[in-house]
Chains A and B, each alone.
Chain A
Amino acid sequence: MNSFQRKSLYAALAGVGALGVTATANAVAINPNGLGQVLIYPYYTVNADAAGNAYNSLLSVVNTTSSAKAVKVRFLEGRNSREVLDFNLFLSKFDVWTAGIIPSSSGGALVKTGDKSCTIPESKTTLQLGVNFVNFAYVGDGGGDGLDRTKEGYVEMIEMAAYTSNNCTSIVVTHVGGVPGCQGAKHPLNDNSAQTDASSAFGGLFGGITLINVGSGTDYTEEAVALQRFNFAGSALYFNAGSVSPTLEFSGPKKSVVYEGFSNDCASGGTVFNSDGTIACQKNFSRIGDDSVYWATWEGPECRNSVTGAAVACLKADAVSAVLMHNQVMNEYVLDAATKSGTDWVITFPTKRFYVANGTGTPAKLFQKNFNKTAFSCDDVIINIFDREEQTVTTPQSFSPPQPGAAPTSLCYEANVLTFNNTNVLGSKNLQNLTTGFSNGWLDIHLSSGGRGSR
């Protein structure tokens, strides 16, 4: 999984690295070193594998700066990206916070920590005992109301504020003898003080998540994708605990820096997406330095159709979508029978929920179908599968089983698991299977179809 993430983002990372010497843009971008203001952990699971061994997902976040931080920690289920839990976490300078997502007797998942870092609600009476994920946000969306939906998904952490070393919030969240004084009698931590003391967020977080199969002692590690300069609007982004804000819609200013790739530049019909949801070089883009790095604006008069010049709606999540999206995913698979090898890929669309509504019909841009109950929200893809000796099978090659009423080759969820020959390493329920006669090789998925080029 991690290798997939790393490969799929490789081009973008390289581009941002090149940008670093040419621009100081207040525009959201992928940070090549994994340091940022927003961390997206692509996948968590507590599902059981074929042997019945349930996974645990252990995550960590590190504050590499000398300022305390307030971070919104959000867990989202993978089918329709509905939130299953969030809280406010306070990291003191150079602090690390860790937590585990484990199976719950509720039938879903819960998050539990042994970490002493301050949270709102207070950790000692909540997270240190374990807090069950909840289904409030997805009951009635038609995708299933059960808590089992909370057993897989992904995690966002959004830095909301930083704290200078001499204010009350910074002092109470700082560890003394290994323990912070979160609820000390003199200055107990609360939303009001955290709001009052807050300064602008500026990044410097990194993290990762490890999927542990406890029964076998094996684990798979993912690094969190980091967004730098997510919000440089000049003030803190602090929201009280209990608020579902901020989200990935809160980037500001609405600008992004995108690296397009060396071999597929804009002049030849590039891969960046436009404000109207099509693919091409667009008027809201300008090039920086060379032909491969693009600065894009997602608000105001620059939101317009590249051909007609007519104004089109830019959506709040566009700036973040622009830096995350790809039109193609390539990676290897191993299905070697002698070693009982299996392969799963995870493909997560962290901003899909801002484009896809519940019900029938077509979203305004990027994705092909709204989330229509058990038909879910399926997007066509084109796949080419190769073995290691250059033999290949090209579409029509189908995932199975196909979603009812959907194109047979499609990705239907927000956090998708693509398995090969039903090996289902992760035991996912948000699953598409690809059957192949090849034992080992590589696969190329094109997301460009149905007039929607990249996702």
Chain B
Amino acid sequence: MLFLQLTHRGAFASLQADGRMFETKFRAVGRGLRGASALAVAVGLVACASITVDSPPEAKQKVVAERAQARWELLIKGDVDGAYQYLSVGSKAATPPGLYKAKIKPGMWRGAKVDKVDCEAEVCKVQMLITYDFRAPRGGVMKGIETPVPETWIIENGTVGYVYR
């Protein structure tokens, strides 16, 4: 266990270094996309603006399901930075982006679908069904394993954020 934690920390350090490198590359490549990205953010805000604690359950469930699905699509693509944007305000405050990147390891996930969403007041419980592949360190490859993954989302500031602990 300890060595795993140390490995985590080592990965964290190297990720931070890599992150700076990649950030530069993204800036150079990303200028052409900036307009499209800004538009997407604006649309997102409009779509979520109507979601409040008092919204109908169906509306909450729909938005939460969409955002939960979208977050996982990003993770499956390996876009941890993108997935980080879906975190709740409190989660972002407790977990800076670098630490989040060190804790999340993309690569094994192959598919995601929303199984169910239940909302009560500002809290929504989501059950995702995640499909993943795994290569055993000293054995074979296990493909297409599907397992339930529970999530908590919170309605805040007109949108919903993923609660990461």
Binding site for B on A (CB under 8 A): 1-4, 48, 50-54, 56, 58-62, 96-98, 100, 102-103, 112, 114-115, 206-208, 210, 212, 214-221, 223, 331-334, 336, 338-346, 425
Chain B positions 5-28 with a Cβ under 8 Å from a chain A Cβ: 5-6, 8-9, 12
Q: What residues of chain A lie closer than 8 Å to B3, measured between beta carbons?
A: 2-3
CB distance A52 to B1 under 8 Å?
A: no
B contact residues vs A (CB 8 Å cutoff): 1-6, 8-9, 12, 75, 95, 99, 102-109, 130, 132, 134, 136-145, 147-152, 164-165
B139 with A60: CB separation less than 8 A: yes
A221 to B151, CA, bound (A): 25
Q: How far is the CB of B161 from chain A (nearest CB, A)?
A: 14
A53-B139 in contact (CB<8A): no
Cross-chain contact of A340 among B103, B105, B132, B139 (Cβ < 8 A): B103
Q: Which DSSP category, helix, strand, loop or mixed, fits chain B's interface?
A: mixed
Q: Which of B8, B75, B134, B148 contacts A103 (CB 8 A)?
A: B148
- A46→B9 CA distance, assembly (Å): 25
List 15 contacting pairs A-B, 8 Å CB cutoff, sorted by A: A1-B1, A3-B1, A54-B148, A56-B147, A62-B138, A96-B140, A100-B147, A114-B142, A214-B130, A217-B107, A333-B1, A334-B9, A340-B95, A340-B103, A343-B2
Complex: chain A residue closest to B106, CB-CB: A217
CA distance A100 to B141 in the complex (A): 11
Knowing A2-B1, A220-B4 are in contact, say whether A214-B149 is a contact too (CB < 8 A). Answer: yes
Smallest beta-carbon distance A98→chain B, Å = 5
A208-B136, A212-B134, A340-B95 are contacts. A3–B4 as well, Cβ < 8 Å? yes
Q: Which residue of chain A is the closest to B12 with respect to CB atoms?
A: A339
Q: Are B99 and A60 in contact (CB under 8 A)?
A: no
Are A343's CB and B5's CB within 8 A?
A: yes
The reply to whether A425 and B142 form a contact with Cβ atoms under 8 Å apart is: no
From B2, B3, B106, B164, residue with most partner A Cβ within 10 Å: B2
A216 lies within 8 A of B4 (CB): no
Q: Which residue of B lies closest to A345 (CB)?
A: B1
Select B136's contact among A48, A60, A339, A340, beta carbons within 8 Å: A60
B145 touching A217 by the CB < 8 A rule? no
Across-interface contacts of A215 in B (CB, < 8 A): 130, 149, 151
- B138 A48 Cβ-Cβ under 8 A: no
* Alpha-carbon distance A51/B105, docked complex (angstroms): 16
4 closest A-B pairs by beta carbon, nearest first, are A60-B139, A217-B105, A332-B2, A334-B5
A345 / chain B contacts, CB cutoff of 8 Å: 1
Residues on B with C-beta less than 8 A from A331 are 1-2
Most buried by A among B6, B130, B136, B151: B136
In whole angstroms, how far apart are the Cα atoms of A199 and B95 in the complex? 58
The 8 Å CB contact of B139, one of A51, A61, A100, is A61
**Cα distance A103–B148 when bound, in Å?**
8
Known contacts A62-B139, A97-B140, A100-B145; can you find 7 more A-B pairs with CB under 8 A? Answer: A58-B134, A60-B139, A61-B139, A114-B143, A218-B103, A218-B105, A223-B138
Residues of B within 8 A of A62 (CB): 138-139
- The answer for the CA separation of A220 and B8 in the assembled complex, in Å, is 11
Residues of A within 8 A of B140 (CB): 60, 96-98, 115
User: In the complex, which residues of chain B have a beta carbon less than 8 angstroms from the beta carbon of A219?
Assistant: 134
* B139 with A207: CB separation less than 8 A: yes
CA distance A90 to B120 in the complex (A): 50
Rounded to whole Å, the gap between the CB of A341 and the closest CB of chain B is 5
A334 to chain B, nearest CB (A): 4
Contact (Cβ within 8 A) B136 A103: no
Cβ contact within 8 Å between B149 and A54: yes
Cα separation A346 to B2 with both chains bound (whole Å): 12
What distance in Å separates the Cβ of B141 from its nearest Cβ neighbour in chain A?
8
Q: Residue of B at shortest CB range from A3? A: B3
Taken together as a complex, chains A and B put the C-alpha atoms of A214 and B109 apart, in Å, by 8
Cross-chain contact of A341 among B9, B145, B165 (Cβ < 8 A): B9
Inter-subunit contact A58/B5 (CB<8 Å): no
Residues of A within 8 A of B138 (CB): 60, 62, 206-208, 223
Bound form: Cα–Cα A274–B99 in Å: 50
B137 touches A210 (CB 8 A): yes
Is A210 a contact of B1 with CB atoms below 8 Å?
Answer: no
On whether the beta carbons of B147 and A341 are closer than 8 Å, the reply is no
Given the complex of chains A and B, what is the CA–CA distance between A54 and B3 in angstroms? 22
In the complex, chain A residues whose CB is within 8 Å of the CB of B136: 58-60, 98, 208, 210
Residues of B near A3 (CB, < 8 A) are 1-4
Contact A216 B132 (CB under 8 A): no
Instruction: Tell me whether A56 and B145 are in contact (CB under 8 A).
Output: yes
What residue in chain B is nearest A425 (Cβ atoms)? B1
B102 contacts across to A, CB distance below 8 A: 339
Alpha-carbon distance between A344 and B3 when the two chains are bound, in angstroms = 11
Chain B residues within an 8 Å CB radius of A58: 134, 136, 142, 145
With contacts A58-B134, A208-B137, A425-B1 taken as known, whether A216 is within 8 angstroms of B103 at the C-beta atoms is: yes
Q: Are A344 and B1 in contact (CB under 8 A)?
A: yes
Measured between beta carbons, the chain A residues less than 8 angstroms from B147 are 54, 56, 100, 102-103, 214
B150 touches A52 (CB 8 A): yes
